Structures are given as structure tokens and as C-alpha cells.
Structure 1
Amino acid sequence: MDANQTPAPAGWLQGDVALITGGGSGLGLALVERFLLEGAKVGVLERSHEKVDALRARFGDDVVATQGDVRSYEDNSRAVAETVNRFGKLDIFIGNAAIWDHGASLMSLTPEQLANGFDELFPVNVKGYLLGAKAAAPELIKSEGSMIFTLSNSAFYPGGGGPLYTASKHAAVGLIRELAYELAPKVRVNGVGPCGMASDLRGPASLGQENMRIMDSRSPEAIASILPLQFFPQAADFTGPFVLLASRANNRTLSGVLLNADAGLAIRGIRHTAGGLNL
């Protein structure tokens, strides 16, 4: 470095190692990018072979990408092992992989769709978090690290999804609180609930939504119009709360906390001004 150059400031996560599920696109990819910028090394558990290949090509040795399914404990455990083998430890686990129900309502679904949708969505959104936590916990206890789970505005109030998705995010709230209780004092466990954004979030195949992205049914203008801050957030706009919660220097006191990162939506909640129950 030239003597006249000012060294770049150290990031909030300098020297830390994180594992992020669903890190191949959307918020997960934005978290990979931000955590690297903050000085961390990153492991990713990602189901898509193509996204795993893209992560390896783009980030090289700074990221270890494991192809696997969050619904499998063995895949979660393998992602932890590969991350620790590469980087020597694990400080942060972020449960992020999820699917959405595109707002499919109770009355719009047949009983078979409701049952099959539940059996497909809950294993990703809830069991995936639980199995990831189980796999990561021993290493996080060693490092006295943290877990962070991606929630949603649907974890706080209705209208951001249908009953399947909303129930799954409320279940994740209970999981966060229980794990924060069980893993204290060694591991801090928290959640971040973003509002709508452009991402690759898709729906259950059992509802015919496996190729539907979240923005296929909503526009940036429609999302911005319901937010008090009146802008359409990008995935990167939500990464700051995760950095705060993960940082040892900036968060020694928050555990069992849910950060509602919804551009002010909680001021008034989600309201539908037209339509209603269609019987």
C-alpha cells in the first residue's frame, strides 16, 4: 500500500465466518455480497446446481457453496462441515431459504391443495430452519456466535401471503424465541422480517407455483404504494439489520429479537381497499 493511502476501514464482521441458506439469489445473494464486504468468509447451502456453479465462479475461495436441500439434515450438516473445513470455524448461521404461497387464500384452495401445499411449504420454511439450527449449533456454541432467521412482514400481521406462508413465518417466530432461550448464554438467536422486494422467491409445486416468482404477481409500484416510506426496496436494502445482529461488537444484548424491516408498514399494516371475501 502507498504511504499516502488510507487503509480501508475494517468491516463489522471482519474475520467472521457465516453460513447462509438459499444464498444463490435474492436476499440470500445480497447477504453473501454484504457479508463479504463486511470482512466475513461465507458458506452457502443452495438447492440449485446452476446457482452453486455461479457462486463458485463469481466469488472463488471467499465462498464455499454446497449443493443441497434445507429439508435434509444431512445436507445442512454437510454445509456446516464444508464451511468449517474451509474456514476453520463458524460464527453466524442465517436460515434464509423459503418459498411463498403467492397469497393463495383458504377459500381459493381445494382441501387437497391446502394439505399438499402445507406438506411442501412447511418443510422448507420451518423444518429447514430447525434442521439448519441443529446442524450449526455445536459450532456456534464453540464460537459463541449467532443465528439469524429471515422472517417477513407476514410474521407480524396478515395480508403479506396466504394462510400457509403466514402460518410458517409465525412458526419461525416461535422457533427463534425458543432457540434464543435454549441456546443462551452461548448463542444469540434473532430474526429479520423484510417486506416485499424483487427476488427469485417461488411457490409450491403442489399449487402450480414452482415457476412463479414473487414479482410475477406484484409490481414495484404496487409495493411502494403501500409502504409509508414510499419506495420499492432492493434486496441489499435489508442486509444492514443482519449485519447488526451478527456483529459481536455492535450486538451483545439482542437475543430473541425480531426486527421488522418493512419500510414502515407496521405503522398501518396491510389493508386491501377493494374486493373482499369471494364466496
Structure 2
Amino acid sequence: MLLQNHTVLITGAGSGLGLGVAKYCKAQGATVIVTDIATEKLAYIAADFGEQDLLLACDVTKITDLELCKQHIVEKYGRLDAVIGAQGIFDGNRPILTMNAPDLDQMFDELFHINVKGYLLTAHIFADLLKQNHGALVLTTSTAAYAADGGGAVYTATKGAIRSLIQQLAFEFAPHIRVNGVAPAAIGNSQLKGPKALNLDNEKQSDIPKDAFLNLFQSISLLQQLPDATDYGEIYAFLASKQNKIMTGQTIVADQGLLNRAVLTQH
């Protein structure tokens, strides 16, 4: 089991990718700390976890929330072996010229606070615990950091920032903490929401009709089976585990062949 005797914190894990990764880590032997800003999500998933685990409400953009989360972890476990960052919001794939300037301004602040600042603060606050156990930090970027049209300009900019942040933190935290990332593409039943700035905070990517989403995915992907959140779990679990002795500063692009496809012709 990849994560036997590991204590792993997963942020943004109340649903979607984060929840799938948390469940996979638990199945691999980890004691997990699941955090999310939405308390109702934590209540809904509580039955999936045991007394040895922690489910904590936490806004990763707030230092006080992160410090309180850290306090709970120290009191219950006295250690932390890995942090997996899975929180994020989407921008609705909106071109910037379709928005007015005030909405764009608000959306920029909202996405960069959650998608980038949240990772920076998390890394800063938990670094000392990770250092004590020669632990790992695993952040979530996206194929949008590598090619256009994986989102709108603001979402793409946040994911590019995370990709660069992974490299910088690996440099700053070496040799005591391994820092890597995962760049997923499509995720079945994605719970990724849009920003309040565009009134999309109650809409999810999974609201797209399933057949339409699957048809689009299969038209541009080399692998045709649409992965769900848990299918990404093994990549995160390996990077979070002490069995990873060879990688830091790297991002694994898990794109189902999306970026390897022919551009002008179809196979």
C-alpha cells in the first residue's frame, strides 16, 4: 500500500477531484485530513471516513483557518507526511472581451485568491510539519497551463502560475520536502464551479449534459474512456508517498493523450 503509515491532508476535498483523491489515499492506507470550505459537503461525505480521519471546514485563502487546521492536525496526530492541494474554481471558459471590465477585475481576484494564493498560504503554513517528516506537497494545475482553450484567460493564467509555483517551491523547500504537481484534463462528474463574479458559483462542470461532454471529450482525446476523480488517485498517492524518491519540481500531465493529438486531422 502506497500510503501505509502516512498522514495526508487534502484541501478542497469535499467533492470532485479532491474527494476522489482522498478516498484513494485512504484505500492506500493513509490517515486523511479532508478540508473544504463548504461544511454541508463535509457532513454529506462523513460516512466515507472513520474516527482516525479528520474532516475540517477550512478556507484556504484565510491564514486563521489554515492555522486552526494545522492546530487540529498537531493535536490529533503530531505529524504530517503530505499535503495534496485540490481546491480550485473555473472561469466558465469566458473570453475576456465578452465581459465588462469590473466583472473581469472581480473574477481575477476571486480565481487567483482560491487557485493560487490558497496554495501559497497552505505551503507556507504546513512547511514546517512536512519538513519534520521529509514529506511531500502535491499541487493541482491543469492541461490549461500547457495549451490554449482549456479554460478562459483567467483560469489559464492561474493554472500557469501553479505550474511555475511547483518548480519554485521545489527549489525553496529542497531537500527536505518534495514538491510536485498533477495536470488533469477531463474529469467525469466534475464538481468544479465558476466564480461569483459571473454568478456561476452555483453551476458545475457536471451540469453540462453527460452525452455532450463525453462526445466532446472523445472527439479530442486519444484515450476514449472518460476518467473519474479516483482514476487520478494513484498519481497523487505516489507523489505524496515516501516511495517517491526520484521526483521533485515536476508536473505529471495526465491528459488522456489530449495534448498529443493531431491538430489538423482526426484519427
Please give the TM-score of this superposition, normalised by the length of structure 2.
0.93
Return closer, same or farther for 1:269/1:202 CA change in 2, 3 Å cut-off.
Answer: farther
Residue of structure 1 aligned with 2:44, choices 45, 54, 58: 54
Find the aligned partners of 1:238 and 1:56 in 2 and give their Cα distance: 22
SS at match of 2:197: helix
**Within the alignment, does 1:167 sit opposite 2:157 as a pair?**
yes
1:255 matched residue in structure 2: 248
CA RMSD of the aligned region, Å?
1.6
Identity %: 37
2:222 matched residue in structure 1: 228
1:16 matched residue in structure 2: 6
State how 1:101-140 maps to structure 2 within 5 Å.
Answer: 101-140=91-130
Structure showing greater relative contact order (alpha-carbon pairs closer than 8 Å, 6 or more residues apart): 2
State how 1:26-105 maps to structure 2 within 5 Å.
Answer: 26-105=16-95
Find the aligned partners of 1:107 and 1:228 in 2 and give their Cα distance: 32
1:8 matched residue in structure 2: none
Find the aligned partners of 2:73 and 2:26 in 1 and give their Cα distance: 14
Q: Is the 8 A contact 2:61 2:113 kept in 1?
A: yes
1:205 matched residue in structure 2: 196
Find the aligned partners of 2:11 and 2:153 in 1 and give their Cα distance: 24
| Runs of at least 5 residues in structure 1 that lack an aligned partner in the other structure | 1-10, 274-279
Q: Is the 8 A contact 2:220 2:261 kept in 1?
A: no
Find the aligned partners of 2:222 and 2:232 in 1 and give their Cα distance: 16
Q: CA deviation at 1:56?
A: 3.0
Q: Which has the larger radius of gyration?
A: 1
Q: CA deviation at 1:248?
A: 1.3
2:207 matched residue in structure 1: 216
Find the aligned partners of 1:182 and 1:269 in 2 and give their Cα distance: 38
Q: Which whole-Å deviations, capped at 9, do the CAs of 1:109-128 have from their partners, x for residues lacking one?
A: 11111111001111000000
Residue of structure 2 aligned with 1:266, choices 241, 259, 264: 259
SS at match of 1:147: strand
Q: Is the 8 A contact 1:55 1:63 kept in 2?
A: no
Q: Is the 8 A contact 1:55 1:65 kept in 2?
A: no
Q: CA deviation at 1:146?
A: 0.4
Find the aligned partners of 2:85 and 2:136 in 1 and give their Cα distance: 11
Please give the TM-score of this superposition, normalised by the length of structure 1.
0.89
Find the aligned partners of 1:30 and 1:238 in 2 and give their Cα distance: 8
